[in-house]
A and B are shown apart, each in its own frame.
With several copies, the nearest count.
Chain A
Amino acid sequence: MSAYTEQKLTRDEMAQLVAADIPAGAFVNLGIGQPTNVSNFLTAEQGVTLHTENGMLGMGPVAVGDQVDEDLINAGKIPVTELPGASFFHHADSFAMMRGGHLDVCVLGAFQVSAAGDLANWHTGAEGAIPAVGGAMDLAIGAKQTWVMMSLFTKGGESKLVETLSYPVTGLGCVSRIYTEVAVFELRDAKVYVRSTHGISFADLAAKVPVELTEVK
């Protein structure tokens, strides 16, 4: 039976779970927003190296006080720091690093993920919305593994894990794991496995999510 906790996960608990799952020594890109929070739970022993697509490996924590340097920012344009062993490179080299499959894990937010691992996170498709994509499509398909962090349900209670995306696609078949406040999903072998549930039973979860779920026994 899958792992279970009585309570839904908080955002910090989700980030903690993701951080614990990142293999030691991995090269990782954390997307803007919730995924950035994962860095707060990585341990020094893990030896994880963070990539920021604007041209750096070995990114350190957010800069504070005198550390702030407008030439040293992350992809969210927030001033950050550099760690010993860092390196700088230009944009073509940085995205080549990503697209070439050299990063181990990329963690992203999402509007929707399909059972096949299709990701939607760049555009609501709403009438009149100004589209903006940034590195979303590169991040989605570039890393060896793409993990998503999202709330499982919309404010209206609809599942964001779906059979077929209704939002515009960011990348096809790219997501292998989804961390939500009520469950962690693993997408492999054309199935959606539920690794753990939080504050909900597997049966209740299966009733609320419109894709076939398989419990990890």
Chain B
Amino acid sequence: MAPRIAASAAQAVANITDGSTVLIGGFGNAGQPMELIDALLEGGASDLTVVNNNAGQADAGLALLIKERRVAKIICSFPRQSDSWHFDEAYRAGEIELELVPQGNLAERIRAAGAGIGGFFTPTGYGTLLAEGKETRIIDGRGYVLESPIHADFALIKALRADAHGNLVYRKTARNFGPIMATAAKQAIVQVDDIVPVGSIDPENVITPGIYVNTLVALGGAQ
């Protein structure tokens, strides 16, 4: 199905309901779908499970969702930063659940969900606190931990450009989690600078094929 073209970020996220699991792309500011997150904040959905590399920074985006106690649980690799005060406060108050995952396992678990993999043995985290309670196995003399896929209801992603079929290209290190998150969510909602006619993106250079994209919103490059 060709993606729905939303008229605004608000319209793009309008069907995100309470209790949803939402993958949010970005690493630092690169690839962070700030307008979609703001729209989600505005939209009012609560009791969310959010998957992101971090747990919000300063007084913007994800940090505000956490401040407003709209995030019941966060799955991330690096919550603690110099400016993660809203997360820190919610966490110390016992008002947000944290599932801490090594960054590569986080990426691989998201990929596994999109790829129909039921679980995988990873060497990362073996013998550490983060493997406690998890199944482990020695394979060819090396220790591995069994990790499970992270499926989601929605993904919020920022890409550089889409064609009307939803084929996406990204820009530099802003690519980060976008391509795998698009595959792991029932609905991928993507903000782009612009939407170009079908045929404008070389099929060799498509990073996310349109099959993974459900909703597009064009916000212009000057945002």
Chain B, 56-112, CB within 8 A of any chain A CB: 77-81, 87-88, 91-92, 98, 100-108, 110-111
A87 to chain B, nearest CB (A): 4
Q: Nearest residue in B to A84 (C-beta to C-beta)? A: B199
> How many chain-B residues does the 8 Å CB contact rule pick out?
70
Q: Are A136 and B210 in contact (CB under 8 A)?
A: no
- Collect the chain B residues with CB atoms within 8 Å of residue A71's CB: 30-31, 171-174
Also in contact, A138 and B172, with CB within 8 A (given A88-B203, A92-B180): no
CA distance A56 to B172 in the complex (A): 8
- Collect the chain B residues with CB atoms within 8 Å of residue A92's CB: 107-108, 110-111, 179-180
Q: Are B107 and A85 in contact (CB under 8 A)?
A: no
Is A134 located at the chain interface by the 8 A CB criterion? Answer: yes
Q: Contact check: which of A24, A70, A123, A134 meets B30 at CB < 8 Å? A: A70
Q: Are B88 and A91 in contact (CB under 8 A)?
A: no
Q: Contact check: which of B80, B104, B204, B212 meets A130 at CB < 8 Å? A: B80
CA distance A96 to B91 in the complex (A): 31
CA distance A52 to B167 in the complex (A): 17
Q: Are B88 and A130 in contact (CB under 8 A)?
A: yes
Q: Are A85 and B165 in contact (CB under 8 A)?
A: yes
Also in contact, A137 and B203, with CB within 8 A (given A96-B108, A132-B80): no
Q: Contact check: which of A82, A87, A90 meets B176 at CB < 8 Å? A: A90
Is A200 located at the chain interface by the 8 A CB criterion? Answer: no
Q: Are A133 and B210 in contact (CB under 8 A)?
A: no
- Collect the chain B residues with CB atoms within 8 Å of residue A181's CB: none
B6 to chain A, nearest CB (A): 17
A207 to chain B, nearest CB (A): 31
Q: Nearest residue in B to A168 (C-beta to C-beta)? A: B129
CA distance A49 to B167 in the complex (A): 13
Is A172 located at the chain interface by the 8 A CB criterion? Answer: yes
CA distance A26 to B126 in the complex (A): 27
- Collect the chain B residues with CB atoms within 8 Å of residue A183's CB: none
CA distance A103 to B198 in the complex (A): 20
A66 to chain B, nearest CB (A): 15
Q: Nearest residue in B to A87 (C-beta to C-beta)? A: B206
B104 to chain A, nearest CB (A): 3
CA distance A82 to B199 in the complex (A): 11
Binding site for B on A (CB under 8 A): 24-27, 47, 49, 51-58, 69-73, 77, 82, 84-92, 94-103, 123, 128, 130-138, 141-142, 168-172
Interface pairs A-B: 10 shortest CB-CB = A95-B104, A99-B116, A96-B115, A25-B1, A84-B199, A138-B104, A87-B206, A77-B28, A132-B80, A91-B107
